[in-house]
Protein backbone atom coordinates (compact mmCIF):
# COMPACT_ATOMS: atom_id res chain seq x y z
CA UNK A 1 0.00 0.00 0.00
CA UNK A 2 1.31 3.38 -0.88
CA UNK A 3 2.37 5.54 2.05
CA UNK A 4 0.82 8.86 2.96
CA UNK A 5 1.60 12.01 1.01
CA UNK A 6 3.76 13.29 3.86
CA UNK A 7 5.75 10.06 3.97
CA UNK A 8 6.26 10.07 0.23
CA UNK A 9 7.48 13.66 0.32
CA UNK A 10 9.65 13.33 3.39
CA UNK A 11 12.55 11.82 1.49
CA UNK A 12 12.57 14.35 -1.31
CA UNK A 13 15.07 17.18 -1.40
CA UNK A 14 14.14 20.85 -1.64
CA UNK A 15 15.23 20.82 -5.26
CA UNK A 16 12.64 18.14 -6.05
CA UNK A 17 9.77 20.16 -4.55
CA UNK A 18 9.42 22.41 -7.55
CA UNK A 19 10.12 26.10 -7.94
CA UNK A 20 7.28 27.51 -5.79
CA UNK A 21 8.35 26.30 -2.37
CA UNK A 22 6.95 27.93 0.76
CA UNK A 23 10.29 29.57 1.50
CA UNK A 24 10.67 31.03 -1.97
CA UNK A 25 7.11 32.34 -2.00
CA UNK A 26 7.69 33.99 1.39
CA UNK A 27 10.87 35.74 0.27
CA UNK A 28 9.36 36.73 -3.07
CA UNK A 29 6.41 38.31 -1.29
CA UNK A 30 8.73 40.22 1.04
CA UNK A 31 10.81 41.42 -1.91
CA UNK A 32 7.77 42.67 -3.82
CA UNK A 33 6.45 44.44 -0.72
CA UNK A 34 9.81 46.12 -0.05
CA UNK A 35 10.22 47.24 -3.66
CA UNK A 36 6.69 48.61 -3.75
CA UNK A 37 7.22 50.46 -0.45
CA UNK A 38 10.53 51.90 -1.65
CA UNK A 39 8.96 53.15 -4.90
CA UNK A 40 6.04 54.78 -3.08
CA UNK A 41 8.25 56.40 -0.43
CA UNK A 42 10.66 57.61 -3.11
CA UNK A 43 7.81 59.13 -5.10
CA UNK A 44 6.42 60.87 -2.01
CA UNK A 45 9.87 62.22 -1.13
CA UNK A 46 10.31 63.54 -4.68
CA UNK A 47 6.98 65.36 -4.55
CA UNK A 48 7.60 66.83 -1.10
CA UNK A 49 11.13 67.99 -1.92
CA UNK A 50 10.73 69.21 -5.49
CA UNK A 51 7.11 70.05 -6.25
CA UNK A 52 5.48 71.39 -3.08
CA UNK A 53 5.41 75.14 -2.51
CA UNK A 54 5.55 75.31 1.27
CA UNK A 55 4.73 79.02 1.43
CA UNK A 56 1.52 78.31 -0.46
CA UNK A 57 0.89 75.14 1.55
CA UNK A 58 0.94 76.88 4.93
CA UNK A 59 -1.11 79.80 3.62
CA UNK A 60 -4.00 77.55 2.50
CA UNK A 61 -4.05 75.24 5.53
CA UNK A 62 -6.88 77.25 7.17
CA UNK A 63 -9.08 76.71 4.10
CA UNK A 64 -8.57 72.96 4.34
CA UNK A 65 -9.30 73.03 8.07
CA UNK A 66 -12.65 74.69 7.34
CA UNK A 67 -13.35 72.12 4.60
CA UNK A 68 -12.40 69.36 7.06
CA UNK A 69 -14.99 70.64 9.55
CA UNK A 70 -17.69 70.79 6.87
CA UNK A 71 -16.97 67.24 5.72
CA UNK A 72 -16.95 65.89 9.28
CA UNK A 73 -20.34 67.50 10.00
CA UNK A 74 -21.85 66.05 6.81
CA UNK A 75 -20.30 62.63 7.47
CA UNK A 76 -21.51 62.43 11.08
CA UNK A 77 -25.09 63.43 10.21
CA UNK A 78 -25.23 61.22 7.11
CA UNK A 79 -23.67 58.23 8.88
CA UNK A 80 -26.13 58.33 11.78
CA UNK A 81 -29.09 58.68 9.43
CA UNK A 82 -27.79 56.05 6.98
CA UNK A 83 -27.16 53.44 9.67
CA UNK A 84 -30.54 54.11 11.29
CA UNK A 85 -32.39 53.92 7.98
CA UNK A 86 -30.27 50.96 6.90
CA UNK A 87 -31.48 48.89 9.85
CA UNK A 88 -35.08 49.35 8.70
CA UNK A 89 -34.10 48.63 5.09
CA UNK A 90 -32.41 45.41 6.22
CA UNK A 91 -35.48 44.42 8.20
CA UNK A 92 -37.58 45.09 5.13
CA UNK A 93 -35.30 42.91 3.03
CA UNK A 94 -35.90 39.91 5.33
CA UNK A 95 -39.58 40.68 5.93
CA UNK A 96 -42.07 37.94 5.15
CA UNK A 97 -44.60 40.58 4.10
CA UNK A 98 -44.44 40.68 0.31
CA UNK A 99 -45.21 44.41 0.00
CA UNK A 100 -42.58 45.43 2.56
CA UNK A 101 -40.01 43.11 1.01
CA UNK A 102 -40.73 44.39 -2.50
CA UNK A 103 -40.44 48.05 -1.51
CA UNK A 104 -37.18 47.48 0.38
CA UNK A 105 -35.76 45.46 -2.52
CA UNK A 106 -36.70 48.15 -5.06
CA UNK A 107 -35.11 50.81 -2.85
CA UNK A 108 -31.85 48.86 -2.57
CA UNK A 109 -31.73 48.06 -6.27
CA UNK A 110 -32.25 51.69 -7.27
CA UNK A 111 -29.76 53.29 -4.92
CA UNK A 112 -27.12 50.60 -5.41
CA UNK A 113 -27.75 50.41 -9.15
CA UNK A 114 -27.44 54.11 -9.97
CA UNK A 115 -24.40 56.35 -9.40
CA UNK A 116 -24.32 58.64 -6.39
CA UNK A 117 -23.51 61.48 -8.79
CA UNK A 118 -26.82 60.87 -10.59
CA UNK A 119 -28.67 60.85 -7.27
CA UNK A 120 -27.06 64.16 -6.33
CA UNK A 121 -28.30 65.73 -9.55
CA UNK A 122 -31.84 64.41 -9.01
CA UNK A 123 -32.02 66.03 -5.58
CA UNK A 124 -30.00 69.20 -6.18
CA UNK A 125 -31.41 70.12 -9.60
CA UNK A 126 -34.58 68.06 -9.94
CA UNK A 127 -36.42 68.89 -6.73
CA UNK A 128 -36.10 72.72 -7.00
CA UNK A 129 -37.39 72.52 -10.58
CA UNK A 130 -40.74 71.28 -9.24
CA UNK A 131 -41.42 74.83 -7.99
CA UNK A 132 -41.93 77.90 -10.18
CA UNK A 133 -38.70 79.88 -10.75
CA UNK A 134 -37.66 81.80 -7.65
CA UNK A 135 -40.24 80.16 -5.37
CA UNK A 136 -38.24 77.23 -4.02
CA UNK A 137 -38.68 77.49 -0.22
CA UNK A 138 -35.07 76.65 0.69
CA UNK A 139 -33.42 79.37 -1.36
CA UNK A 140 -31.79 81.02 1.66
CA UNK A 141 -29.29 79.34 3.95
CA UNK A 142 -29.06 79.36 7.73
CA UNK A 143 -25.64 80.39 9.01
CA UNK A 144 -24.57 78.03 11.78
CA UNK A 145 -20.95 79.17 12.04
CA UNK A 146 -20.00 82.27 10.01
CA UNK A 147 -17.64 81.46 7.10
CA UNK A 148 -17.53 77.82 8.18
CA UNK A 149 -20.93 76.14 8.04
CA UNK A 150 -24.12 77.24 6.31
CA UNK A 151 -27.17 74.98 6.18
CA UNK A 152 -28.50 75.68 2.69
CA UNK A 153 -29.92 73.55 -0.13
CA UNK A 154 -26.42 72.38 -1.06
CA UNK A 155 -25.79 71.12 2.48
CA UNK A 156 -29.24 69.49 2.66
CA UNK A 157 -28.70 67.81 -0.72
CA UNK A 158 -25.38 66.39 0.46
CA UNK A 159 -26.93 64.88 3.60
CA UNK A 160 -29.99 63.48 1.82
CA UNK A 161 -28.04 61.93 -1.07
CA UNK A 162 -25.37 60.35 1.13
CA UNK A 163 -28.00 59.07 3.56
CA UNK A 164 -30.24 57.50 0.91
CA UNK A 165 -27.32 55.98 -0.99
CA UNK A 166 -25.51 54.45 1.95
CA UNK A 167 -28.68 53.31 3.73
CA UNK A 168 -29.07 50.85 0.85
CA UNK A 169 -25.60 49.40 1.47
CA UNK A 170 -26.08 49.32 5.24
CA UNK A 171 -29.42 47.60 4.67
CA UNK A 172 -27.75 44.83 2.70
CA UNK A 173 -25.14 44.44 5.44
CA UNK A 174 -27.88 44.18 8.07
CA UNK A 175 -29.73 41.67 5.92
CA UNK A 176 -26.59 39.54 5.68
CA UNK A 177 -26.06 39.84 9.42
CA UNK A 178 -29.60 38.67 10.14
CA UNK A 179 -29.30 35.74 7.74
CA UNK A 180 -26.07 34.71 9.47
CA UNK A 181 -27.86 34.23 12.81
CA UNK A 182 -28.87 30.62 13.44
CA UNK A 183 -32.41 30.08 12.15
CA UNK A 184 -33.51 28.22 15.26
CA UNK A 185 -33.15 31.27 17.49
CA UNK A 186 -36.23 33.03 16.11
CA UNK A 187 -38.37 29.90 16.44
CA UNK A 188 -37.09 29.31 19.97
CA UNK A 189 -37.80 32.90 20.98
CA UNK A 190 -41.31 32.75 19.54
CA UNK A 191 -41.97 29.45 21.32
CA UNK A 192 -41.06 31.16 24.59
CA UNK A 193 -43.83 33.69 24.08
CA UNK A 194 -41.85 36.59 22.62
CA UNK A 195 -43.45 38.60 19.82
CA UNK A 196 -41.74 38.89 16.44
CA UNK A 197 -40.72 42.48 17.20
CA UNK A 198 -39.29 41.60 20.62
CA UNK A 199 -37.51 38.55 19.21
CA UNK A 200 -35.93 40.62 16.46
CA UNK A 201 -35.00 43.52 18.75
CA UNK A 202 -33.63 41.54 21.69
CA UNK A 203 -32.35 38.31 20.15
CA UNK A 204 -31.64 38.61 16.43
CA UNK A 205 -30.54 42.21 15.83
CA UNK A 206 -27.79 42.33 18.51
CA UNK A 207 -26.14 39.31 16.89
CA UNK A 208 -26.83 40.59 13.37
CA UNK A 209 -25.14 43.86 14.32
CA UNK A 210 -21.97 42.03 15.28
CA UNK A 211 -22.10 40.03 12.06
CA UNK A 212 -22.57 43.16 9.95
CA UNK A 213 -20.21 45.45 11.84
CA UNK A 214 -17.25 45.08 9.48
CA UNK A 215 -19.33 45.74 6.36
CA UNK A 216 -21.07 48.73 7.95
CA UNK A 217 -17.76 50.16 9.12
CA UNK A 218 -16.23 49.81 5.67
CA UNK A 219 -19.25 51.56 4.18
CA UNK A 220 -18.76 54.53 6.49
CA UNK A 221 -15.18 54.88 5.25
CA UNK A 222 -16.51 54.85 1.68
CA UNK A 223 -19.07 57.49 2.69
CA UNK A 224 -16.22 59.79 3.74
CA UNK A 225 -14.58 59.41 0.34
CA UNK A 226 -17.91 59.86 -1.44
CA UNK A 227 -18.04 63.41 -0.08
CA UNK A 228 -15.53 64.26 -2.82
CA UNK A 229 -18.44 64.06 -5.29
CA UNK A 230 -20.13 66.97 -3.53
CA UNK A 231 -17.86 69.32 -5.46
CA UNK A 232 -20.21 68.94 -8.47
CA UNK A 233 -22.99 70.70 -6.53
CA UNK A 234 -20.58 73.41 -5.35
CA UNK A 235 -20.52 72.22 -1.75
CA UNK A 236 -17.32 73.77 -0.33
CA UNK A 237 -15.64 70.53 0.73
CA UNK A 238 -12.06 69.31 0.37
CA UNK A 239 -11.96 68.71 -3.39
CA UNK A 240 -13.70 72.02 -4.04
CA UNK A 241 -10.95 73.83 -2.14
CA UNK A 242 -8.33 71.88 -4.09
CA UNK A 243 -9.88 72.86 -7.42
CA UNK A 244 -10.05 76.53 -6.45
CA UNK A 245 -6.41 76.63 -5.38
CA UNK A 246 -5.21 74.73 -8.44
CA UNK A 247 -7.12 76.99 -10.83
CA UNK A 248 -5.85 80.17 -9.14
CA UNK A 249 -2.25 79.17 -8.45
CA UNK A 250 -1.65 76.64 -11.26
CA UNK A 251 -0.10 74.39 -8.64
CA UNK A 252 -1.56 70.89 -8.33
CA UNK A 253 0.86 69.11 -6.02
CA UNK A 254 0.74 71.54 -3.10
CA UNK A 255 -3.03 71.25 -2.52
CA UNK A 256 -2.93 67.53 -3.39
CA UNK A 257 -0.73 66.97 -0.34
CA UNK A 258 -3.27 68.71 1.87
CA UNK A 259 -6.14 66.78 0.28
CA UNK A 260 -4.43 63.51 1.19
CA UNK A 261 -3.65 64.65 4.73
CA UNK A 262 -7.19 65.92 5.29
CA UNK A 263 -8.90 62.75 4.11
CA UNK A 264 -6.52 60.54 6.07
CA UNK A 265 -7.21 62.64 9.17
CA UNK A 266 -10.82 61.49 8.87
CA UNK A 267 -10.52 57.94 7.56
CA UNK A 268 -7.64 56.64 9.70
CA UNK A 269 -9.32 57.33 13.08
CA UNK A 270 -12.57 55.99 11.63
CA UNK A 271 -10.91 52.75 10.53
CA UNK A 272 -9.23 52.39 13.92
CA UNK A 273 -12.59 52.89 15.63
CA UNK A 274 -14.21 50.24 13.45
CA UNK A 275 -11.36 47.84 14.18
CA UNK A 276 -11.72 48.51 17.91
CA UNK A 277 -15.45 47.78 17.77
CA UNK A 278 -14.79 44.58 15.83
CA UNK A 279 -12.25 43.47 18.42
CA UNK A 280 -14.71 44.22 21.21
CA UNK A 281 -17.51 42.26 19.56
CA UNK A 282 -18.13 38.90 21.20
CA UNK A 283 -18.24 36.14 18.64
CA UNK A 284 -19.74 32.78 19.55
CA UNK A 285 -18.76 29.44 18.05
CA UNK A 286 -20.36 26.05 17.79
CA UNK A 287 -23.28 25.37 20.12
CA UNK A 288 -22.77 28.71 21.81
CA UNK A 289 -23.68 30.46 18.57
CA UNK A 290 -26.94 28.55 18.35
CA UNK A 291 -28.24 29.76 21.71
CA UNK A 292 -26.08 32.77 22.58
CA UNK A 293 -28.83 35.36 22.02
CA UNK A 294 -31.37 33.40 24.04
CA UNK A 295 -28.83 32.84 26.80
CA UNK A 296 -28.28 36.60 27.07
CA UNK A 297 -32.01 37.32 27.11
CA UNK A 298 -33.11 34.66 29.59
CA UNK A 299 -29.90 34.07 31.53
CA UNK A 300 -29.50 30.44 30.58
CA UNK A 301 -26.30 29.16 32.09
CA UNK A 302 -23.00 31.02 32.26
CA UNK A 303 -21.76 32.86 29.22
CA UNK A 304 -18.31 31.93 28.08
Tell me the residue range of the domain where 43 lies.
Answer: 22-51
CATH number for the domain spanning 67: value is 1.10.3720.10
Same-domain pairing of 68 and 197: yes
Question: Are 118 and 248 found together in one domain?
Answer: yes
Tell whether 129 is covered by a domain.
yes
Is residue 9 a part of any domain in this protein?
Answer: no
Same domain as 149, residue 129: yes
296 inside domain: no
In this structure, the answer to whether residues 73 and 213 fall within a common structural domain is yes
- Is 303 a member of any domain? no
Helices 205-226 and 153-180 pack at an angle, to 10 degrees, of 140
Mark whether 47 and 68 lie in a shared domain: no
Indicate whether 29 and 110 sit together in one domain: no
What string of pLDDT tens digits covers the 304 residues of the chain? 455 555 555 555 544 556 778 888 899 999 999 999 999 999 999 999 999 999 999 999 999 999 999 999 999 999 999 999 999 999 999 998 999 999 999 999 999 999 999 999 999 999 999 999 888 888 777 888 887 888 899 999 999 999 999 999 999 999 999 998 887 887 787 778 788 788 888 888 888 888 899 999 999 999 999 999 999 998 989 999 999 999 998 889 999 999 999 999 999 999 999 888 888 876 544 444 445 555 555 444 333 3
Same domain for 47 and 102, yes or no, is no
How many other β-carbons are positioned within 10 Å of the β-carbon of residue 71? 24
- Report the domain count for the chain: 2
Domain co-membership, 253 together with 158: yes
% helix, strand, coil for the chain, step of 5: 80, 0, 20
Amino acid sequence: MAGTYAEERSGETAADEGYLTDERVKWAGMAVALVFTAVILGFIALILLEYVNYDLLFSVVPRFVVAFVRVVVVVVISSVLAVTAGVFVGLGRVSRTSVTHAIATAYVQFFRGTPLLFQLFIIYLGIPSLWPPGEFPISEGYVVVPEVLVVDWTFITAVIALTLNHAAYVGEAVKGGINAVAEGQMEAARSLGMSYVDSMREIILPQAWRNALAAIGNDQVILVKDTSLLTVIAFPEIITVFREINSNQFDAWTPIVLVAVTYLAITLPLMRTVQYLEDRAEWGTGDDEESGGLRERFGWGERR
